[in-house]
Amino acid sequence: MTYNPKDEALKKGFTMQNDHLCWDGRDLVQVAADYGTPLFVFSQRQLRQNVTDVCNAFRKLHHDTHLFYASKANSNVGVLKVLRAAGASIEVNSGGELQKAKIAGYKPEQIVFNGVAKTQEEIRLAVEYGIASINVDSEYELKQVISVAEKLCKKANVAIRVEPQVPSPTHPGLVTAYHSKAGIDMIEAPRLFKVADDHAWVNLKGIHFHVGSQVPILEPFIKATRIIVDLVKQLHSDLKIKLEHINIGGGIPIPYKMGAGDPLEDFFYAGFSEEELAAAVVPIIEELGEEIKIFLEPGRRIVGNTAVMLSRILCEKEKVLEKDVSGKVHWLMADVGFSTLLETNNYDWYFLIASVNRFEEVHNKPFKLAGPLCDGGDYYHGADHVPEFKQLPSKTAPGDVIAFMDVGAYTLEQMFQYNGRPRVGAVLLGGDDQVIPIRRKDTFGDLIAQDIWDFI
Ligand SMILES: Cc1ncc(COP(=O)(O)O)c(C=O)c1O
């Protein structure tokens, strides 16, 4: 298969004007010139669209569906506010995310809280605020929740996270329902649900599971839903426990790679849509009755395709290609590295890369592309149609701007200041041609803000 980054970008909805890459009608060369690089550029239109699309897909089949956006994918408060205004509720994983959710205006009934190791203080925040559901991850944690609720004299809304033991063919680090650290065993579930249901300080609300992230095929969702629905039936028939909601977690994949690749072989292809997911799982869930509420926790599907990273090429060089291959390799050094796009290093993540200022030119020259960090691992590698190489226009040179696409999830969230480099800024393409800053770049003051040296 011939790989053409330009065609892939056009399929993703980017456009071209005056040879430049454009998004939502904005010339990204101009945005890079106005705001500098590296820079995250978000689309407000796409953020709204994603919430609407996922909600509609489920509500068409089951009206009482609630989308709790998984904020660990991106908890920028500006982004959280846009999503809330678009109709999303929120899933949080820490006291910090819970407080961000409050600042972004989410009401208690719009918040669920996951996590394998919540502190007493985090549980206190959640019970005090009266959130929709603390998704309890162990018996130990259930006891903690009960003790906090007792102290506050306030009932805690609780769901229990169960691990259905269903593997999925995503990145091994992203499998969460198969011998993972999260959730309780199926075998333990009836006893724990009974303890929760019987307790005076617990409002037992629901059940939770999460198959994994960027799960490329439907099958694991169907299997897991079947297992959990059967468990809920058993809880009802054996223990007379009736749950209000079933939370099917996140994991909807996005097409980092377009076209007809096999998602089973390569999880950067998305093998199904939210419509297909809803069509597959809603009938199973409705075996529990039509009044059951469905909770969803998509993160990547809501923010993944809402941002590009603009980066400038700072330097170039030619070097001898690796041993046993003759010829030279052309290296390009960009101003963004894995301190900003950690997933490239952590999980060998694939991001489509295209030229911004030479977008019209044929992207047919294989370059090795590296970031600026003083770290041998700081280059963009693997998981590509051209392993180890990135295809860009042959004239690509220092001063050019390139775009990394679909970088809205698990990126800005994971930045750090390695090598004394500032975490980068972000802007939002809003309506009426507005470009709105939503994160300022770190200053030098930010780089040293946590250090203490007046002891010497
Ligand atoms: C419990 C839970 N819910 C939701 C998500 C969001 O997953 P995704 O971003 O793949 O939709 C995650 C992430 O792994 C998670 O751990």
> In this predicted model, what pLDDT tens digit does every residue of 250-306 receive, in sequence order?
999 999 998 778 999 999 999 999 999 999 999 999 999 999 999 999 999 999 999
My answer on whether 22 and 76 are in the same domain is no
Question: Which of 304, 336, 360 marks a domain boundary?
Answer: 304
Mutate to test the pocket of ligand 1, among 53, 74, 176 (most ligand atoms within 8 A of CB): 176
pTM of the model: 0.96
Task: Record the tokens describing residue 220, joined without a space.
Answer: 């694991």
My answer on whether 17 and 58 are in the same domain is no
Is the predicted pLDDT of residue 398 greater than 60, yes or no? Answer: yes
My answer on whether 123 and 227 are in the same domain is yes
My answer on whether 82 and 14 are in the same domain is no
* Residues near ligand 1 (Cβ within 6 A): 70, 73, 91, 114, 176, 210, 213-214, 249-252, 297-301
CA distance 132 to 159: 9
Whether residue 314 contacts residue 398, with contact meaning beta carbons closer than 8 Å, is answered with yes
- Domain range for 178 is 44-304
In total, how many domains does the chain have?
Answer: 2
The 10s digit of each residue's pLDDT in 160-180 is: 999 999 999 999 889 888 889
| Type and span of the H or E element at 20 | strand 20-23
Mutate to test the pocket of ligand 1, among 180, 213, 217 (most ligand atoms within 8 A of CB): 213
| Predicted confidence band of residue 1 (pLDDT cuts 50, 70, 90) | very low
CATH number at residue 332: 2.40.37.10
Q: How far is the CA of 217 from the centre of ligand 1 (A)?
A: 16
The 10s digit of each residue's pLDDT in 97-118 is: 999 999 999 999 999 999 999 9
Q: Is residue 300 part of a domain?
A: yes
Q: How far is the CA of 212 from the centre of ligand 1 (A)?
A: 7
My answer on whether 100 and 207 are in the same domain is yes
My answer on whether 11 and 141 are in the same domain is no
Question: Which of 271, 289, 304 marks a domain boundary?
Answer: 304
CA distance 379 to 54: 34
Q: Whose CA is nearest to atom 16 of ligand 1?
A: 210
Q: How far is the CA of 59 from the centre of ligand 1 (A)?
A: 20
My answer on whether 239 and 325 are in the same domain is no
Cis peptide leading into residue 387 (ω within 30°)? no
- Alpha-carbon distances, residue 240 vs 197, 235, 284 (angstroms): 10, 6, 20
Q: Is 42 helix (H, G, I), strand (E, B) or coil?
A: strand
Q: Is residue 152 part of a domain?
A: yes
Q: How far is the CA of 298 from the centre of ligand 1 (A)?
A: 6
Question: Which of 256, 272, 304 marks a domain boundary?
Answer: 304
What pLDDT, on a 0 to 100 scale, did the predictor assign at position 228? 98
Active site residue 55: no
Task: Record the tokens describing residue 455, joined without a space.
Answer: 């002891």
What pLDDT, on a 0 to 100 scale, did the predictor assign at position 322? 66
My answer on whether 124 and 196 are in the same domain is yes
Q: Whose CA is nearest to atom 13 of ligand 1?
A: 213
What pLDDT, on a 0 to 100 scale, did the predictor assign at position 387? 66
CATH number at residue 286: 3.20.20.10
